[in-house]
Structure 1
Amino acid sequence: MPYEWDINEKGAPDISGAFSFEAGDPPAATLHLWPYRSLPRKGFVTFFAITCVLVLLPLFAVLGSPILWGLLPFIGGAIALTWYLLERSYKDAEILEELRLWSDRVELTRHNPRGPKQDWHANPYWLRIEMHPKGGPVENYLTLRGGERDVELGAFLSPEERAELYGELQGMLSRIRGKQHNP
């Protein structure tokens, strides 16, 4: 799964009975989300080496002839373009979303690859997690409603992963709200 939960197991502070943003406590739970990488860096090196060998293999037939010099710029351009596009894909996938949950605050931070960091916060009591099975830009579109605006969560995840995350997030929010009301 391209997301993971970090749950603070130390227990709630004795004073407030719950993890509190206002008291400076660490979050009760933190969710990290990132896009799935089907080709890790090690695989990239292997793929690129095999691609170069396979593309350059036919050049042995024209070695020593003027045709080689006619083909070489196109083959070099194809290899360079493949490298550039794969690197661009890696850069685009450097998105990271962090959702932090306290009993009195929820924060979402999105780290964009080529843009400013985006922050959002709300009170967990008023927070609503909504899944739009068909109405959003993607299937099982997941949004958080609360605060001054609605925000999307994990739009880069698969529909099945968003559905699973929806259930986990509902459960975690219920636990956080329960701590808020049961000191």
Structure 2
Amino acid sequence: MIEVVPSMPDGHGAQLKLRPPRALTAHQFLALFAALAGAMWLVAMLGWWAGNVFAPAFALLDSVIVAAALRWLWRSGERGEEITVGPDVVEVVLLEARRTAPVGTVFRAHPYWVRLCVEKGGERISLASSGRQVEVGAFLGPAERRELADKLQDLLAAASGRNR
């Protein structure tokens, strides 16, 4: 998901907030876990009734593993990137999975010296300046990466004065 937020009141510059796409809401993730755990416990109880005394213990272990895997998957969807393009600076900030708190600035340069590199038909998008390079939007789908490349190209051209 790409969200464009104007960063300056005078209309110069913008901030792009990138988030990985999510197929399920939190409620749907919970319903998925309940369905999977319910099916595991139903089979485990049938196994226990047939004489397998270890089936409930296996179902408990399996439920914990599935819950941990779904939790990790949900948390990995909370990461993101913020790309600020202004008349004086281009900045890329990584956001961690916990409450979108910033991890730190990984790239900072003047927009006139920033190159937008689109490699392999849009599969990899990176910003480069002064020997430093950072990949952006790696978690986005192909169509969103193409959209990101177009928006970055327009914002960089406007910020550096190359669109005149």
Q: Do Structure 1 and Structure 2 share a fold, with TM-score over 0.5?
A: yes
The structure whose residues are more often strand, as a share, is 2
% same residue: 26
Q: Which secondary structure state, in structure 1, belongs to the residue aligned with residue 112 of structure 2?
A: coil
CA separation of 1:35/1:181 partners in 2, compared to 1, >3 Å: closer, same or farther?
A: closer
- Counterpart amino acid of 1:49? A
CA separation of 1:181/1:33 partners in 2, compared to 1, >3 Å: closer, same or farther?
A: closer
Q: Which runs of 5+ in 1 are unaligned?
A: 13-18, 20-27
Q: Which secondary structure state, in structure 2, belongs to the residue aligned with residue 125 of structure 1?
A: helix
Matched, 1:11 2:25: no
Aligned to 2:106: 119
Following TM superposition, by how much is the alpha carbon of 1:31 offset from its aligned partner in structure 2, in angstroms?
0.4
* Equivalent residue pairs, number: 161
CA separation of 1:101/1:148 partners in 2, compared to 1, >3 Å: closer, same or farther?
A: same
Preserved contact between residue 91 and residue 107 of structure 2 (Cα < 8 Å):
yes
Matched, 1:40 2:25: yes
After superposition, the CA RMSD in angstroms is: 2.7
Query: TM-score under structure 2 normalisation?
Result: 0.83
Residue 64 (structure 2) aligned to one of 49, 72, 80: 80
Of structures 1 and 2, the larger Rg is shown by 1
Tell me the distance in 1 between the aligned counterparts of 2:135 and 2:123: 11
Preserved contact between residue 123 and residue 147 of structure 1 (Cα < 8 Å):
no
Tell me the distance in 2 between the aligned counterparts of 1:116 and 1:74: 38
Matched, 1:70 2:43: no
Preserved contact between residue 81 and residue 92 of structure 2 (Cα < 8 Å):
yes
Tell me the distance in 2 between the aligned counterparts of 1:40 and 1:105: 35
Aligned to 1:23: none
Aligned to 2:40: 55
Preserved contact between residue 125 and residue 177 of structure 1 (Cα < 8 Å):
yes
Tell me the distance in 1 between the aligned counterparts of 2:127 and 2:46: 60
Following TM superposition, by how much is the alpha carbon of 1:164 offset from its aligned partner in structure 2, in angstroms?
1.7
Q: Which runs of 5+ in 2 are unaligned?
A: none
Preserved contact between residue 45 and residue 56 of structure 2 (Cα < 8 Å):
no
Tell me the distance in 2 between the aligned counterparts of 1:85 and 1:117: 27
- Residue by residue over 1:51-97, the C-alpha shift from the partner in whole angstroms, topping out at 9 and shown as x without a partner, is 12222223454566652x32111111111100001111222233221
Following TM superposition, by how much is the alpha carbon of 1:160 offset from its aligned partner in structure 2, in angstroms?
2.2
